Structure 1
Amino acid sequence: MALLLGLSGCGADVEIAVGRMNPASAVSGSGGEAGSGSGGEGGTTSCDVLPSPIHRYTFDGAGDVVADLIGGADGVILGGASLDGGGGLTLDGEDDYVDLPAGLLAGLSDVTVMGWVVRDGGGAYLRIVDFGISSRGEDPVEGEGGVGTSYLAITPSTGADVRGVSVLASDSGVTGEVAIHAEPTLDDGEVHQVAVVFDGAGATLALYLDGALLGSDSVGFPLSGIQDVNNWLGRSQFDADPYLGGRYDELRIYSEALVGCAIEAAWNAGPDRP
């Protein structure tokens, strides 16, 4: 049983399970320190009360349906993988992925996408999350050579000079892409929290790892510019990119741009698992 301690910070009292606190020890990119409360810092919510997500996937149960506990937007697991009955989903890195319903970002001007994952090797440009559409449209057939034309994606590693965890966002393919690259590659076999904040009012994009801000950048297009038709976990809009091998413990989508200390508090609390 975890020991809970009360921590006063960011204007709020937060309960933290001892042993779960594991902020990134070193970060790169623009931005500041974990939990500074400025959100990328561009976030719009406070840390007084962490808001409820609009979609929450805890990967409980068995079978091939990933239930949305809040928004009713259930997803389906494709490629032969299934829930393990212990609150997790493991993908094989060959053809497994989760297909979530289209339109998860529809009507939003701000969003925070937050997940707890374990990477299991693999090459560059794997996808933890990829919400968007490819040049081959909805549900493209593998091998047709499609490329992403609109997307909000998180990858644990890239082929860029800075090869670690990154967020990629565009409303017009690679030419219009905004990318934040960082050093950590998530190759340690441990559970990590990754979070992306798209702040429409501040026109910024921010990337967090384990509660720590890795970097932020300005965005010249609104969230509505991303056509989230193919909302995937483990698969890329770019057909040449490999599938993700690893485990998902939880995924949350908030309709707000969470501030840094709220993301840190969520990391400290950890994913809700049985």
Structure 2
Amino acid sequence: MNPAAAAGGGGGSGGGGDGGTGVVPCDGLPSAAHRYTFDGEGAVVADTVGDADGEILGGASLDGGGGLALDGEDDYVDLPSGLLAGWRDVTVMAWVARDSGGAYMRIVDLGVGSSGEDPVEGDGSVGRSYLAITPSTGFDVRGVAALASDSGAAGQVEIPTALGLDDGETHQVAVVVDGEAADMALYVDGALLGRVAVGFSLSAIQDANNWLGRSQFDQDPYFHGRYDELRIYDEALAGCAVEAAWSAGPDRP
């Protein structure tokens, strides 16, 4: 099934070739600012193109085969704070396979909560500013969604869809924030699922807690599944570029 056909809500949908104001040529992708291929073993997630190595917490470790499995109980990756500092645009792209789990677990969540940096689990912290992708929600359409806010839940903008990621397959998910267009777009497997206007700049997101698998909202569950790659670009990729990345697949330049 074409992922675009399963979209619901958000700011419209279309094929992966639909782009925003991004000017990235589609016959070649730019280098990512940060790239994590999950190679090796142990608890360090190396940034292969930058200097922002992450740490795996909760007891999980790299499997030696280019992947990271999180158990949905307390495993997550803590990336360095300030990854978005000084950026007007961003594209966050991940290749993941979801296992079981409840609504609002996070594939990625860049932001901060009411308890500040590195909150203790169980302290009731709630999200204050964030950019996030979740594989399922409690919205009327309960599939994969992009979430962003500069002022907590009251100021949240979202792109909800009806597309589930519960088929056991690896999927590419990507959220694009375009500062010039003042919008956010969500893609799955190269297809644009929705676009929504954003009334605040990327600089309004205080990314003190840059997490894979954990939410800025303490009550949300941890992600249960596998990561094959994460890329963070300091520009808003056009839809055709996201589609080209999907076609090329993970773990390739």
TM-score band, normalised by the shorter chain? Answer: over 0.9
The one of 241, 244, 247 equivalent to 1:268 is 247
The one of 232, 237, 243 equivalent to 1:258 is 237
Deviation at 1:72, TM superposition (A): 1.3
Helix, strand or coil: the match of 2:242? Answer: helix
Deviation at 1:153, TM superposition (A): 0.5
Please give the alpha-carbon distance, in whole angstroms, between the structure 2 residues aligned to 1:32 and 1:241: 28
Please give the alpha-carbon distance, in whole angstroms, between the structure 2 residues aligned to 1:25 and 1:164: 12
1:21-47 deviation per Cα after TM superposition (whole angstroms, max 9, x unaligned) = x85362324434323242xx3434231
- The letter for the 2-side match of 1:228 is D
2:73 aligns with 94
The one of 92, 100, 103 equivalent to 1:124 is 103
Q: Do residues 209 (structure 1) and 188 (structure 2) align? A: yes
What are the equivalent positions in structure 2 for 1:27-106 lying under 5 Å apart?
Answer: 27-28=6-7, 29=9, 30-38=11-19, 41-106=20-85
The one of 124, 137, 143 equivalent to 1:145 is 124
TM-score normalised to the size of structure 2?
0.96
- The letter for the 2-side match of 1:187 is D
1:189 aligns with 168
What are the equivalent positions in structure 2 for 1:169-180 lying under 5 Å apart?
Answer: 169-180=148-159
1:176-233 deviation per Cα after TM superposition (whole angstroms, max 9, x unaligned) = 1110000112000000000000000100000000000000000000000000000000
Q: State, as a whole percentage, how many aligned pairs show the same letter.
A: 70
Please give the alpha-carbon distance, in whole angstroms, between the structure 2 residues aligned to 1:120 and 1:48: 33
Count of aligned positions: 250
TM-score normalised to the size of structure 1?
0.89
Contact 1:64 1:76 in 2 (8 A): yes
Gaps of 5+ in 1: 1-21
Contact 1:113 1:253 in 2 (8 A): yes
- The letter for the 2-side match of 1:46 is P
Helix, strand or coil: the match of 1:248? Answer: strand
Superposition RMSD on alpha carbons, in Å?
1.3
1:44-67 deviation per Cα after TM superposition (whole angstroms, max 9, x unaligned) = 423142111000000000000000
Contact 2:114 2:127 in 1 (8 A): yes
Gaps of 5+ in 2: none
